[in-house]
Chains A and B, each alone.
Chain A
Amino acid sequence: MITVSELEVVFGQGTPLEKRALNGVDLKVKDGEFVSIIGSNGAGKSTLLNAIAGDFPPSRGTIEIGGRDVSGWSTARRAAWVSRVFQDPLAGSCADLTIEENLALAAARGTRRGLKRALTPRRRSTFIQRVAELGLGLESRLKDRMALLSGGQRQATALLMATLSPSQALLLDEHTAALDPGMAEFVIELTRRIVADEGHTALMVTHSMSQALSVGTRTIMLHEGKIMLDVSGEERDSLTVEDLVAKFRQMRGQSLDDDKLLTS
């Protein structure tokens, strides 16, 4: 359960460059819900995810995860319940560590990192099994450095890392945007499968309207730091990409000149 109440995030407060990135966001995400988030550039999609992850404290409002108010917590402390996959495939893992060392880092998320061996036989066998499930043939390359993997392989591994330990909020920030179309499709399918199989509570930012409707159980649309649309269930099932674009136009009362971007 993720509860965001009256969340405001202002960057550079009191300076000429002041930017109100989130302007009163209220959002309740139930356990097991998979929310896709759309909106134009600068709408506050990434800011919302980063605020939930704890990269900056809210200027106003609160963030609760699993009933605990985590508003003042650091990113590292929240990571016990929050896991993330970034847009940049290089950002989610350590290039100079091996695949299994990266997985060991992820396996220890949410635990006290003590002076026990990171790579135990038990962890290794779990890793082999989980990596084999990706179907990328990486299970025989666990001792390879992460830097040797392609962007798509790294992103698939990052997704595995984010779901290796239990979490109450899986945050996916345009995690397929930097991949080639084939690999992006693969990672999206993987996301769909993992989230459904393991019942994660997930928030996924995307630029693609069709992806926003076809993946997940609920869709919200942000504009200028506010939630302008929130659909789920039958209402969402009957929605087409064209409807979504039309709804966006109607709500904003203005024409969109970036239709191409939205319908891609």
Chain B
Amino acid sequence: MRNPTTAIWSAVAVLAAGGLSWLLLDWLGAFAFWNAIEIGLVYGFVGLGVFLSFRVLNFPDLTVDGSFPLGAMVVAALLIGGDPFWGNPWIATLVAFVAGCLAGLVTAALNVVFKILHLLASILTMYALYSINLRVGDGRPNLSVRNLDSVVDVMDGVGLPSNYVEPTLLLVLLVIAIGLLTWFLTTDFGLGMRATGINPKMARAQGIPTGRNIYAGMALSNGLVAVGGGLFAQTAGFADATSGTGTIVFGLAAVIIGETLLPFRGIWILLAGCVFGSVIYRLARQSALEWDGICVGNSCFEVLASDLNIITAAIVVLALVLPQLRSWSRSR
């Protein structure tokens, strides 16, 4: 916070978020509010993963639509398996991370070794993962892990009110993830990865093996997304092999909303913005559903759950286009 504007803006943002949350808590009711926060935090991991691929590596990666349910199915299958070692929720979540890394490596290999266009490479992996995810579930697309051990058990002794338990744990895990990523992206290796995404020609001229960085970044990105899936299974109580559709859009929404609301360049602020953006997105989504709609004469309009896709897409498009519009209007 060297810059006073940064400090003031941050304070305003935090106060506004606090005030808005208080109003929303009242309007949505405690259960729906905390549920939205919880899902927002789970998808915060997706936001961090998408930040790595989309922003750091400049690699639009649809693999996440497959690696999110992959993480969920791996964790659910291991928890149901009940093995004393592999059935441990922390070990299972770690295995989900590794599985996600492998998915990312496949996409990276398709792109780096076989020169398949990044978008297409990731679509192919995502498509193939559907089969893998069903194999993981032993043919069942839906696994219930309600009442089984989960990472949330670690909070048992803390004595928080039930609404706060899962969000608190998720927040702690996210702070650890953001801390590790901030450290990583400011090392020589991490800086090389950022250069790979910004200017690959310059990166190679400085001796940075760009291909190797794409492998590492894609693995890390999809590993984080799979951890998000694994935590989703443990907090929601089920895993669904078909639940991945739109994961990339949620991740993009998180990254872009975060950037728009916290427009600063510091790495940890950008990363925290992804989580913040994810939570804001979930609250907005929940609010849209809660809205009673408007009536003009006899014809009424109310937001249906099925309308959320087009609303989300519009928000993402708007956030992507807004910076262009700004420079376009300035050039007039």
Residues of A within 8 A of B (CB): 53, 74-77, 79-80, 83-84, 86, 91-97, 101, 104-106, 108-111, 113-119, 145, 161
> Which B residues are in CB contact (< 8 Å) with A108?
188, 191-192, 206-207
A90, closest chain B residue (CB) = B199
**A105 pairs with B192, CB closer than 8 A:** yes
**A105 pairs with B195, CB closer than 8 A:** yes
> Which A residues are in CB contact (< 8 Å) with B202?
91-94
Give min CB distance, B327 to chain A, whole Å. Answer: 13
**A118 pairs with B191, CB closer than 8 A:** yes
**Cβ 8 A contact of A104, one of B188, B203, B265:** B188
In the bound assembly, the distance between CA atoms of A163 and B199 in angstroms comes to 19
**B199 pairs with A113, CB closer than 8 A:** no
Give min CB distance, B282 to chain A, whole Å. Answer: 29
**B190 pairs with A118, CB closer than 8 A:** yes
> Which B residues are in CB contact (< 8 Å) with A91?
199, 201-202
In the bound assembly, the distance between CA atoms of A115 and B202 in angstroms comes to 21
**Cβ 8 A contact of B188, one of A86, A94, A114:** A114
| 30 A-B pairs in the complex with CB atoms less than 8 angstroms apart | A75-B204, A76-B203, A76-B204, A76-B207, A76-B209, A76-B210, A77-B209, A79-B205, A80-B207, A83-B205, A84-B205, A93-B199, A94-B202, A95-B199, A96-B194, A96-B198, A97-B194, A108-B188, A108-B191, A110-B207, A113-B187, A113-B188, A113-B189, A113-B191, A115-B187, A115-B188, A115-B189, A115-B190, A118-B190, A161-B206
Q: A95-B199, A117-B187, A161-B206 are in contact. List 13 more A-B contacts (CB 8 A).
A: A75-B204, A75-B205, A76-B204, A76-B207, A76-B209, A79-B208, A94-B195, A94-B202, A95-B198, A105-B208, A108-B191, A115-B187, A115-B190
Give min CB distance, A120 to chain B, whole Å. Answer: 10
> Which A residues are in CB contact (< 8 Å) with B163?
none
B208, closest chain A residue (CB) = A76
**Cβ 8 A contact of A94, one of B187, B198, B207:** B198
Q: Would you call B184 an interface residue if the criterion is a C-beta within 8 Å of the partner chain's C-beta atoms?
A: yes
> Which A residues are in CB contact (< 8 Å) with B187?
113-118
In the bound assembly, the distance between CA atoms of A91 and B190 in angstroms comes to 20
In the bound assembly, the distance between CA atoms of A106 and B265 in angstroms comes to 21
In the bound assembly, the distance between CA atoms of A117 and B208 in angstroms comes to 16
Q: Would you call B186 an interface residue if the criterion is a C-beta within 8 Å of the partner chain's C-beta atoms?
A: yes
**A105 pairs with B206, CB closer than 8 A:** yes
**A119 pairs with B207, CB closer than 8 A:** no
> Which A residues are in CB contact (< 8 Å) with B188?
104, 108, 111, 113-118
Of B187, B188, B205, most A-chain CB atoms within 10 Å: B205
- Nearest 3 CB-CB pairings of A with B: A79-B207, A113-B188, A94-B198
Of A101, A106, A118, most B-chain CB atoms within 10 Å: A118
**B186 pairs with A118, CB closer than 8 A:** yes
A-facing residues in B187-238 (Cβ within 8 Å): 187-192, 194-195, 198-199, 201-210
In the bound assembly, the distance between CA atoms of A97 and B266 in angstroms comes to 10
> Which A residues are in CB contact (< 8 Å) with B194?
94, 96-97, 101
**A117 pairs with B186, CB closer than 8 A:** yes
> Which B residues are in CB contact (< 8 Å) with A117?
186-188
